[in-house]
């Protein structure tokens, strides 16, 4: 009966966790604004590439958001990219972790092709395609006459800042080539404090992803009008990617994500069902007194289906 009690226990734990997760996800308020189309001037909508690649065309853009439901601080500001394959094999390998951690010791740019050296052969720090393609749109927010300050501190994982990006490695020869891939880095700030870079370099597994841009420590009321001034710099037009700005309150679970809740509910429900099924089998055929190993075989049949 050990197997049955394990199933039962897992079910009894998972089902409430699932319910709580789902309830928490319901409370999250999100404002999502896709701006990559809207920010292209009307006379250039059929030539977006010319627009984004032409440095003389201003990239500022103003968006108006209406708060649908009260949002308690902290409000998380994310950018969301769609159709961006950060997990592409060639892309995801184009980095050198030893360099980020300790350039003096490693002194290397291996595996960073095609962003290893500048045209005149100087090593690039941070090297590689991932760093090179650092997201470079910027946002600022006002409500009425007030600026809503975006706090960009502590947006990255503490463990990344402390162990993966050195506080004595500084960007050099970065984004110096003919083709600019994204944001430039201030070369007097060590990598461990380049939080946008650190966030970006924790690559996403899926082609649609969100990355934290900052936090706003102000409560927003329903019907508040937020003006967003943004710089629409980043080129997603060449591969048909979408750009979205997301304002979100977050619970202890992180975001508006029902998946985890459902996953817990389904696994938990299945476990309880199996516990009952096994108990029934046991009661119907007590004379055979099924040993646990048989039960396990039976269980694996279920899971193989
Ligand atoms: C598009 O319109 C803007 C003004 O709204 C103008 O400055 C720009 O030159 C125009 N671009 C083209 C390609 O017509
Ligand atoms: C960039 O835009 C300006 C004005 O909008 C235009 O005169 C110029 O030809 C464009 N440059 C390129 C390389 O398309
Ligand atoms: C890194 O290696 C190159 C060539 O091996 C050498 O010239 C350079 O001085 C080294 N740099 C550091 C910081 O050790
Ligand atoms: C809001 O920010 C802008 C630009 O940074 C600045 O010019 C303005 O004085 C600020 N306004 C207030 C009320 O702080
Ligand atoms: C932003 O990144 C794009 C590439 O996506 C680049 O063409 C552009 O020059 C960059 N702009 C700024 C202001 O960094
Ligand atoms: C780079 O960072 C230093 C130190 O924080 C600062 O004094 C300087 O103004 C920054 N430079 C630029 C171009 O932002
Ligand atoms: C927001 O606006 C809607 C319609 O304009 C109104 O019905 C609602 O009461 C307002 N909510 C708040 C909290 O002011």
Pocket of ligand 2 (CB under 6 A): 50, 54, 56-57
Tokens found for residue 148: 């809503």
SS3 per-residue string spanning the chain:
CHHHHHHHHHHHHHHHHHHHHHHHHHHCCEEEEECCCCCCCHHHCCCHHHHHHCCCCCCEEEEEEECCCCECCCEEEEEEEECCCCCCHHHHCCCCHHHHHCHHHHCCCCCCCCCCECCCCCECECCCHHHHCCCCCEEEEEECCEEECEECCCCCCHHHHHHHCCCCCCCECCCCCCCCCCCCCCCCCCHHHCHHHHHHHCCCCCCCEEEEEEEECCCECCCCEEEEEEECCCCCHHHCCEEEEEEEECCCCCCCCCHHHHHHHHHHHHHHHHHHHHHHHHHHCHHHCCCHHHHHHHHHHHHHC
- Calculate mean pLDDT across residues 253-271: 79
- Calculate mean pLDDT across residues 14-20: 87
pLDDT of amino acid 305: 36
Name the residue of 138, 147, 216 whose CB sits within 8 Å of the most ligand 4 atoms, as the mutation to test its pocket: 147
For the chain, the average pLDDT equals 88
C-alpha–C-alpha distance, residues 91 and 131, integer Å: 10
Enter the pTM of the model. 0.80
Which range scores top for mean pLDDT: 53-62, 105-114, 243-252? 53-62
Tokens found for residue 85: 């394959």
What residue's CA is closest to ligand 7, atom 6? 223
pLDDT of amino acid 299: 43
The CA 146 to ligand 4 mean position distance, Å, reads: 8
Tokens found for residue 175: 């984004």
Residues 213-250 have pLDDT tens digits of 999 999 999 999 999 999 999 999 998 999 999 999 97
Which residue, among 125, 127, 205, 135, has the nearest Cα to 170 in the 3D structure?
Answer: 125
Q: What are phi and psi of 93, to 5 degrees?
A: -90, -10
Look at 57-71, 121-135, 282-296 and tell me which has the smallest mean pLDDT: 282-296
What residue's CA is closest to ligand 2, atom 10? 54
Judge whether 80 and 244 are in contact, CB under 8 Å.
Answer: yes
């Amino acid at each position: 009966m050990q197997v049955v009690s394990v199933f039962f226990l897992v079910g009894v734990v998972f089902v409430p966790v699932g319910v709580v997760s789902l309830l928490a996800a319901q409370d999250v308020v999100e404002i999502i604004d896709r701006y990559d189309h809207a920010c292209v001037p009307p006379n250039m909508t059929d030539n977006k590439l010319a627009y984004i690649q032409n440095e003389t065309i201003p990239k500022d853009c103003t968006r108006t958001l209406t708060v649908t439901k009260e949002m308690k601080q902290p409000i998380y500001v994310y950018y969301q990219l769609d159709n961006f394959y950060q997990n592409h094999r060639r892309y995801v390998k184009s980095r050198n972790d030893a360099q980020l951690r300790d350039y003096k010791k490693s002194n290397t740019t291996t595996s960073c092709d095609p962003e290893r050296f500048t045209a005149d052969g100087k090593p690039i720090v941070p090297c590689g395609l991932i760093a090179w393609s650092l997201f470079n749109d910027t946002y600022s927010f006002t409500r009425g006459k007030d600026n809503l300050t975006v706090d960009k501190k502590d947006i990255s994982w503490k463990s990344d800042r402390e162990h993966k990006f050195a506080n004595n490695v500084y960007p050099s020869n970065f984004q110096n080539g003919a083709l600019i891939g994204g944001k430039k880095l201030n070369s007097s700030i060590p990598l461990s404090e380049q939080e946008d870079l650190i966030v970006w370099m924790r690559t996403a597994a899926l082609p649609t992803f969100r990355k934290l841009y900052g936090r706003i420590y102000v409560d927003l009321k329903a019907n508040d009008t937020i003006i967003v001034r943004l710089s629409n710099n980043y080129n997603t037009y060449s591969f048909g990617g979408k750009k979205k700005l997301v304002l979100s309150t977050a619970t202890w679970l992180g975001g508006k994500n029902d998946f985890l809740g459902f996953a817990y509910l389904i696994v938990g429900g299945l476990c309880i069902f199996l516990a009952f099924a096994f108990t029934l089998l046991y009661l119907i055929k007590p004379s055979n007194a099924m040993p646990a190993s048989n039960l396990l075989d039976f269980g694996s049949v279920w899971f193989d289906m």
